[in-house]
Chains A and B, each alone.
Chain A
Amino acid sequence: MHEEEYVRRAEAAKARLYRTSLLYLGGEAAAVDAVDEAVYRGLRACRKLRQEAYFDTWLTRILINVCNAELRRRKRELAMEQLPETAAEEFDALPLKDAIRRLPQQLREVVVLRYFTGLTLAETARTLGVPPGTVSTRQRRALALLRLELSEED
């Protein structure tokens, strides 16, 4: 992908990327920093992206890597925030935003990408590198923990 095209599409994607990083990282400043980093990494690597149709999933993957790296860095500094799937009562007691952030990583990725980033099931599967069936399963488990009844249209 040429740099000019990358710049155009990154401009269009940045709000969506921000939604993703905000749910991953929690704070506004950290979320903007993560988008900055992902857009920069994407800019450096855009010439390697041969199939422009995969731009959205490709850049989202970069962003998730950036967010996960930041979470790993925080994990070294702070106590782990994730709750196990068995902690249903704790999830119920948390505001939705916090509950999402404290989902196990695999479930959180799916729910963020599907319902806040706006990726389809197939795009989510491609972004995460897992089969669509796995996305479906994780999505069901995540929604159950969050007590959300969302359809494909929500």
Chain B
Amino acid sequence: MNRMEEYRSLQAELERPPAQLEGTVRRAQARQRREARRRRAWWTSCGTAAAAFALFVVLVNVSSPFAAACESIPILKDLAAAVSFSHSLSSAVDHGYVQSIGQSRSIGGVTVDLDYMMLDGGQAVFFGRVTAPEGVEHCQLVPEIRDASGNELLGYALMSSTVTPGTLSTLFTIAITPEEFAFPEVLDITCAVELRWAQEGNAPAPAHTAHGQEDDPHSPKPDATVEFELYVDDWLLQQGRSIPVEQWFEVDGNRFYIASLELYPTFAKFELAADGNNRETLQTLDYYLEDERGNRYERGSASGLLAMGDSYWFESPYFQQPEHLTLHITSASWMEKGRERARIDLETGQALTPLPEGILPTVGRENSSIAVGLTAPLGRDSTENHHAHYQLFGGHYYAPDGTAFEITRLSSYSGVPVWDEAYEQREALYDTHFTQTICLEDWAWDTVEIELYFSRRAEYPQPLSLRLF
């Protein structure tokens, strides 16, 4: 064969591409999605979280009858859509229990519109929208509150989750402990906005930090910071009523007492007092309440907060005014004495002491940061669009020499971490599990001891029922 014949033969050979080439573009798209997840997961793991134990709960649920009822109230129509996932907030909107704020602040291409507030004696829920430059996929608001003189306030938790630019959303919630928290007459709210870009590399350097943020090298600087000033109406803070219960009951051999229920326009709660002789500590409780008409009031609240201290939150029957309410307990998690901590090997990512059943350890590194996480099955009431996370970590972690560190940042996200070396083996868990991580900075040891939130979870297929009134 001469060179020209060879040339034509080679041309013919090259015209027969292998079958594997078929999936090239599909593989590139899948890899890009995995990378995006990894970046988000890492960012979420080691970025600035809004508050300790913030829960990022994804809810999509359209209440059609309610939305239809709001057709004639144009100003509240979009808010009705924004709160349709929450029975309490939907009822509050339905009854006109909304304060219009109508404040807007812009800086460096980012606009925060603070449109509405729902405020009562137990929490304040803020609604609005963030407008961001093209290419921004999500915005994370990190709010801070002070009084008009700049003094810090005590006895509250702030919760926020990512919002989609341009969409009216719940921006953040202030949950308060009424005994400790006093609403100032004027509330100063500072919102740091962190932008998350759809494409890596599109993000310009943050150029607009209006207020001198502390130079914390471990915290990403916000892309914009805006301030709002709100006058708080005393009348709203007085809304709510208490209903006496005064009953003892027993779960898994442990005894509890409920003194009363507190019903507010935007949420409701009851306090559980534990018998000092209980062999286990109750950590979480899954439950719902039911009135005499069969209406269910689910646990939790619009902000994702399930409980504060010994108070357990549920969707409010405030506007329904039921004659009777029955508590149905469906599952609980318990902490057994002596099993509060678990040691994790940061080199291998393995747990050196037992973890609760079904919980997997995970470890990832990037530069001087180590993300230590726990992966667990999604809560049983999860759906495709509603991923129920629950708390896995306790409040501290410890160095091998016994030094205790407080967990001040905790991230929770659906899926398993793509940055974990075990990802390939765990990929099948991506849609059924969630992961919570803490971030260790400049950690000098090769193990860490983490505090666990529970040692076992118990399901009650036949709910334990207690008529409260």
Name, among A29, A32, A42, A147, the residue most crowded by chain B CB atoms within 10 Å (CB to CB).
Answer: A32
Residue contact A147 to B28, C-beta cutoff 8 Å: no
- Determine whether A39 belongs to the interface, using a CB cutoff of 8 Å to chain B: yes
Instruction: Knowing A47-B199, A96-B10, A116-B11 are in contact, say whether A39-B28 is a contact too (CB < 8 A).
Output: yes
Contact partner of B31 (CB less than 8 A), chosen from A18, A23, A40, is A40
Q: Size class of B's contact patch?
A: 20 to 34
Residue contact B11 to A32, C-beta cutoff 8 Å: no
Residue contact A146 to B25, C-beta cutoff 8 Å: no
Residues of chain A contacted by B200 (CB below 8 angstroms)? 44
Residue contact A40 to B17, C-beta cutoff 8 Å: no
- Determine whether A148 belongs to the interface, using a CB cutoff of 8 Å to chain B: yes
**Listed stretches A8-16, A50-58, A75-83, A120-128; interface member:** A8-16
Residue contact B29 to A149, C-beta cutoff 8 Å: no
B35–chain A nearest beta-carbon distance, Å: 8
Chain A: how many interface residues by the 8 Å CB criterion?
A: 33
- Determine whether A70 belongs to the interface, using a CB cutoff of 8 Å to chain B: no
Name, among B17, B29, B199, the residue most crowded by chain A CB atoms within 10 Å (CB to CB).
Answer: B17
Residue contact A7 to B29, C-beta cutoff 8 Å: yes
Closest A residue, CB atoms, query B13: A97
- Determine whether B293 belongs to the interface, using a CB cutoff of 8 Å to chain A: no
Residues of chain A contacted by B11 (CB below 8 angstroms)? 116
Residue contact B14 to A19, C-beta cutoff 8 Å: yes
Q: Can you list, as one digit per residue, whether each of B12-38 has a CB less than 8 Å from chain A (1) or not (0)?
A: 001101101100110111011001000
Name, among A18, A42, A45, the residue most crowded by chain B CB atoms within 10 Å (CB to CB).
Answer: A18
Q: Can you list, as one digit per residue, whether each of A111-140 has a CB less than 8 Å from chain B (1) or not (0)?
A: 000011000000000000000000000000
Closest B residue, CB atoms, query A44: B32
Closest B residue, CB atoms, query A154: B7
- Determine whether A43 belongs to the interface, using a CB cutoff of 8 Å to chain B: yes
Residues of chain B contacted by A47 (CB below 8 angstroms)? 199, 202
B7–chain A nearest beta-carbon distance, Å: 6
- Determine whether A90 belongs to the interface, using a CB cutoff of 8 Å to chain B: no
Instruction: Knowing A28-B18, A32-B20, A97-B10 are in contact, say whether A7-B25 is a contact too (CB < 8 A).
Output: yes
Contact partner of B3 (CB less than 8 A), chosen from A10, A15, A146, is A146
Instruction: Knowing A15-B17, A15-B21, A116-B11 are in contact, say whether A36-B27 is a contact too (CB < 8 A).
Output: yes
- Determine whether B4 belongs to the interface, using a CB cutoff of 8 Å to chain A: yes
Residues of chain A contacted by B17 (CB below 8 angstroms)? 14-15, 18-19
A149 to B28, CA, bound (A): 39
Residue contact A11 to B25, C-beta cutoff 8 Å: yes
Contact partner of B28 (CB less than 8 A), chosen from A23, A40, A97, is A40
Instruction: Knowing A18-B21, A35-B24 are in contact, say whether A150-B32 is a contact too (CB < 8 A).
Output: no
A115–chain B nearest beta-carbon distance, Å: 8
A130 to B264, CA, bound (A): 74
Residue contact B24 to A116, C-beta cutoff 8 Å: no
A29 to B18, CA, bound (A): 9
Instruction: Knowing A7-B29, A44-B200, A96-B10 are in contact, say whether A148-B3 is a contact too (CB < 8 A).
Output: yes
Instruction: Knowing A96-B3, A148-B3, A150-B7 are in contact, say whether A43-B18 is a contact too (CB < 8 A).
Output: no
Give 9 new A-B contacts, CB below 8 A, not counting A40-B32, A97-B10: A29-B20, A35-B24, A40-B31, A44-B35, A45-B201, A96-B6, A97-B6, A115-B7, A146-B3
The 3 closest A-B pairs by CB, nearest first: A96-B6, A40-B28, A19-B14
Enumerate 11 A-B pairs (CB-CB under 8 Å) in ascending A order: A14-B17, A14-B25, A15-B21, A29-B20, A40-B31, A43-B28, A43-B29, A97-B10, A116-B14, A148-B3, A148-B4
